[in-house]
Structure 1
Amino acid sequence: MMPKIKAAKQLLPTCLISLLLGAGLTFSYAPFGAWYLAPLLLAGFFWLLNNKGRSHAFVSGWSFGLGWFGAGISWVHVSIADFGGLPLAGSIGLMLLLCAYLALYPALASSLLVRFIRPAYWPLAIGFIWLFCEWLRSWMLTGFPWLSVGYSQLHGPLGGYLPMVGETGVSVLLVTLACSLGLLLPKRHFKSAVVITAVLLISGYLLGKQQWTKATGQSIKLAMVQGNIQQSLRWVPEQDLPTMNLYRHLTDTHWDADLIIWPEAAIPKLEPLALRYLQELDETAAGHQTALVTGIVNYNFETRDAFNNLIVLGSQDGQAEGHYRYPHANRYAKHHLLPIGEFIPFEDWLRGIAPLFDLPMSSFSRGDFQQPNLQANGLHLAPAICFEIAFPNQIRANLHQHTDYILTVSNDAWFGHSHGPHQHLEIAQVRAREFGIPVLRATNNGITAVIGSQGQLLDELPQFQQGVLVSDVPRYSGQTPYGKFGDLWAWLLATLGLLLALWLPRRHSAKQAIAPSVN
């Protein structure tokens, strides 16, 4: 018993430091944006893992992950506490349960690194191991790839690699750099550390100056409406008409725009029950030779299937002719549904346990992974609803040669004044830089924004205000390397590093075995 108590006491400081290092990563993401903290904190973790945590790699990695996600997605607690109907202890407990689950992935990465790779070769292997574990996180239980470390580098030199290898590849480069620093600096190998850092940061900076796509010289006049409807009122039946009238009123002075966008589920009435309203909007938009894209819930009363949809009203091809007829094909159905919020895992068991598992609009059907672009007033839009923007492979699968813009709509009222909406915006900015085309982001309560092809904010509306964002948005042509090849180069680079990490020690051992026989 005494040895176990002694081991636990020795492990506790390591776990505590790992927890703090992971929590510190929050400051490298939006709204804080201290990108330089990510490589330093990760380097500190790899040093700690090598010197203090190798015998308990899983626990050390889990502690790091618990801090990383516990601080980084603490905003989940806001939606559970405010709208889930659970007491404070219950909401915090559910948030910690989610964070404990997500922490299993860095724990797995730590275990695999320590178990199969010699410490001297960690920097070569960590890219593949990290990439593999993050890939698991992106699809297990439908996937939750939030706070992948590459997002922290949007405004740093490594961000220049985003159009080349995407956020996935930047994550590989970042953990490789951090692991190198964590092993080299304590051994006073300063020259090697400086060379590796300089090569990656300078090359990233120079790549960031490269324009992979080109402006065509054309632009559109865009109007995005931010209704700022309180979440507690969104699905109250008595509020349907006031909400619909508000969006119509905010739009009435902007029919001269080439494209008008309303956010996710802006129309709170089920589509089959809102046909008259939709047909009037369709006729008005077509009469002004414009198009209006809005979020709405489509419900089939025969099959009882519900879809979180985006639909296009008004002009489809630039002609003054409406085309809306329910259920027309110019629509998009959300594919990646949010667990609890849009579908209930193990629904038969969980329904009725707590209000959280019986929220309005929490039982949607899934749309296809790949769907046609929305056609609006001669424009082709690649849509993503809410946290779908965090899945780059889905965005890439829906980008075509004729796609003009990425369109993402959301309702971040669930997360109040937390840093969640800022992280959400940062993810959309990374998508713009990866693919080299603007992202149009319309939200219910902010942050509504136009994002340029380099990931920069061109225009935005403040949070928690009603308003209309009017902006001239340039059109682009061309394709980034990441748009063409996706994660291929990230996997190839990471796999090459892993093979070297496995081969070099054997080669070194073989040379040592040959040397005595020669002597």
Structure 2
Amino acid sequence: MNKPTTTNHRRWLLMLAAFLFGATYPLAYAPFEHAVVAILAMAGFFNLLKMASSWRQAAATGFAFGFGQFTVGISWVHVSIDSFGGLPLAISLLLMSLLCAYLALFPALTGWLWYRLNNPRWRAFNLLLLPSLWLFGEILRGELLTGFPWLALGYSQTSSWLFAFAPFIGVMGIGWLVACLAVMLSYVTTKRNLYWLTPAFAAVALATYWANLQTVSQPTDKFAQVALVQGNIKQSLKWEPDQQWPTMSKYQDMSRPYYDHDLLIWPEAAIPAIEIQAQSYLQNLDATLAWKGSALVTGIIDYQPYSQVFFNNLIVVGRRDPELDKSSYIYGHNNRYSKHHLLPIGEFVPFGDILRPLAPLFNLPMSSFSRGGYVQHNLEANGWKLAPAICYEILFAEQVRQNVQQDTDFILTVSNDAWFGDSIGPHQHLQIAQMRAKELARPVLRATNNGVTAVIDADGSIMAKAPQFTEAVLTAEVAQHRGQTFFARVGHVPVLALSGLIILIAVWRRWRYK
């Protein structure tokens, strides 16, 4: 008579343990960067999956792990909802819980598939199965409903030796490798597995040592003097009409001492005016910078009255080419970038006619954008070529990869993380930019409204960064790099093909067994 009660207790204990493993998982990411925690948390998750007695229990274990992972790891989202959503605390917490529950469905899918496809007798094959299924879940999470690939497993290793694999297998490949190490660690607890695990650990160690010895790009003898301007404008004031001119004047005043630099960078939507209405300001700035021999890249909103569409843009003013002693800016010129990946709710509202009347959260300023092309021309500023990514577009490794050409000098990412206050979000955002630099062997220039503004070298290390929540101009001398990484040529195709093959073999063996 006590068996159902015991079974229920066991189920809830498994879910609690999975939630706790998931809640510790974000300690592997910035600002904590305890990379080994990701391996330990995934090893704990795998051990719990092995204890599941049904597919329902395996799926529930995956859901609990994911719910803990995202409740802690993206807690910064609630800062934005609570501060700017205009909703009661209970409702904002409910929305946050629903978001985390949705994201937890992907680890739940991983747990369910693993239970259905694994066989305890295939230990060596299981070493590859869970990483492949985890990668499959991350791919779905990064694509469905515009995608949200935040906290991908590979980002946890920017402070470890495994970071050296980024130019070869990218963030997804590193995540796959971390999951493999977690499964291997789980199997180490059984002594008889050491015979086949020892060479596996040795192979990973040797490959890691080799990767850390490789030089994937070379600096040339050309350097750019860059100045990244962090205006520290309060989000609550940014779009107030009476703050428009003070904000524009502030950015210009902060930049004036640096007009002798090759490049000046202002953050996302730094100019809080519609481009067509700011022509006098932009033309004066353009003429001044061209005369000084400099160029500025700035974020600005473009509204096209004939088509009645908005774009979140980056434009270049000043010199396009250092050899041409004249300004280059005219409204509508092609030396601009329009954001492709739009943020749901923040930049476009699904079912807007229904949701917008419900709460201020669904009617934020500038939340009706159209998207630009997936691949666009590099920006040209004072002879330098920049591959842009606005805000969370820097998460999308394939999009950034396809926009970085062999003659691209720098990756440029601009953002406005003022939405997220003093949270872990901006630090994770910077960590993601480090991965793009390492994958593609190009320096990253990252300008934000209130931090973290930084310059990242081609090896993924942070060259310089400005303190958060301050008015600051970050200057650096950044080397041009040449050379194309293996990841830049083929992307994630090898690891995706390997994972797909492993899953197909598991499906075939399951079907044959049945």
Same fold (TM over 0.5): yes
Q: Indicate conservation of the 8 Å contact 1:19/1:65, yes or no.
A: yes
What pairs up with 1:17-166 in 2 under 5 angstroms? 17-52=17-52, 54-55=54-55, 56-119=57-120, 120=123, 121-166=125-170
SS at match of 1:81: helix
Q: What's the CA shift for 1:29? A: 0.3
Q: What's the CA shift for 1:233? A: 0.6
Moved more, 48-57 or 498-507: 498-507
Moved more, 334-343 or 6-15: 6-15
Structure 2's unaligned 5+ residue stretches are: none
1:294 corresponding residue in structure 2:
298
CA distance in 1, matches of 2:54, 2:460: 39
Letter of the 1:231 partner, please give it.
Q
SS at match of 2:414: strand
CA distance in 2, matches of 1:156, 1:191: 27
2:239 corresponding residue in structure 1:
235
TM-score (norm 1): 0.94
1:426 corresponding residue in structure 2:
431
Moved more, 200-209 or 183-192: 183-192
Letter of the 1:485 partner, please give it.
V
Q: What's the CA shift for 1:116? A: 1.6
Moved more, 300-309 or 240-249: 300-309
CA gap 1:466/1:3 in 2 versus in 1, 3 angstroms: same
What pairs up with 1:90-489 in 2 under 5 angstroms? 90-119=91-120, 120=123, 121-186=125-190, 189-190=193-194, 192-318=196-322, 319-489=324-494
Q: Indicate conservation of the 8 Å contact 1:286/1:315, yes or no.
A: yes
Q: Indicate conservation of the 8 Å contact 1:11/1:53, yes or no.
A: no
Q: Indicate conservation of the 8 Å contact 2:82/2:89, yes or no.
A: yes
1:406-464 Cα distance to aligned partner (Å, 9 max, x none)? 00000000111100000000000000000011000000001110000110000110100
1:101-130 Cα distance to aligned partner (Å, 9 max, x none)? 000001101111110221333212223222
CA distance in 1, matches of 2:405, 2:474: 27
Q: Indicate conservation of the 8 Å contact 1:109/1:129, yes or no.
A: yes
1:514 corresponding residue in structure 2:
none
Q: Indicate conservation of the 8 Å contact 2:295/2:320, yes or no.
A: yes
Q: Indicate conservation of the 8 Å contact 2:117/2:506, yes or no.
A: no
Aligned length: 509
Q: What's the CA shift for 1:91? A: 1.4
Letter of the 2:31 partner, please give it.
P
Letter of the 1:340 partner, please give it.
I
CA distance in 1, matches of 2:338, 2:388: 9
Moved more, 218-227 or 175-184: 175-184
SS at match of 1:434: helix
TM-score (norm 2): 0.95
SS at match of 2:250: helix
Q: Indicate conservation of the 8 Å contact 2:275/2:303, yes or no.
A: yes
Letter of the 2:477 partner, please give it.
D
State, as a whole percentage, how many aligned pairs show the same letter: 49
CA distance in 2, matches of 1:233, 1:175: 44
Moved more, 177-186 or 480-489: 177-186
CA distance in 2, matches of 1:259, 1:324: 15
CA gap 1:358/1:194 in 2 versus in 1, 3 angstroms: same
